[in-house]
Amino acid sequence: MAFKYEYELEDKVIAVLQNHTNTFLRQFPLFNRVIDFVAIDKNDNVFGIEFKLNNCKKVLEQAKKNKSSFDYFYICLPQKNFKYNFYEKVKEAGIGLMLYDDKKEFLEYKILASSTCEKWYPNLEYIRNLLNNNGNYFGN
């Protein structure tokens, strides 16, 4: 199945990730934008994910702007839409890269995210508090 809509990719990946998180929220408002998925993992790290079916340049810019509010930040793309020249740009930015193979129904961590060095702690704690109080919501 090829993904027609971004939320289809999100649904598949989140079904895998929810087993590795303590709490999560979808479509999380932050400033004047929305983060597709935010969660607290089993080690109490706050991480975010931006999903895109294509338009790698746009998702990389979004991730760069948002990563300071998280311990770790990822981009998730369908495996078939991955272009290798995108790999180096993501790695340089310290952002993680997940690829989802819809034929094998397999999520691959192509690049593990680096811990964000320049964290904006007021935002990080705001997100952590909201997750702890309102987590596990599958909103759209």
pLDDT one-digit tens code per residue, 11-44: 999 999 887 888 888 999 888 889 999 999 888 9
Distance of CA 126 to the CA centre of its chain: 18
Using H for helix, E for strand and C for coil, what is the string for 53-98? CCCHHHHHHHHHHHHHHCCEEEEEEEHHHCCHHHHHHHHHCCCEEE
Q: How far apart are CA 77 and CA 11, in angstroms?
A: 13
Query: What pLDDT is attached to residue 21?
Result: 83
What is Dmax (Cα atoms) for the chain?
A: 41
Average pLDDT over residues 120-130: 91
Q: Judge whether 25 and 137 are in contact, CB under 8 Å.
A: yes
pLDDT in tens, 62-104: 999 999 999 999 999 999 888 878 899 999 999 999 999 999 9
How many CA within 13 A on the CB side of residue 75? 31
Query: What pLDDT is attached to residue 1?
Result: 61
Strand partners, 78: 100
Query: What pLDDT is attached to residue 136?
Result: 61
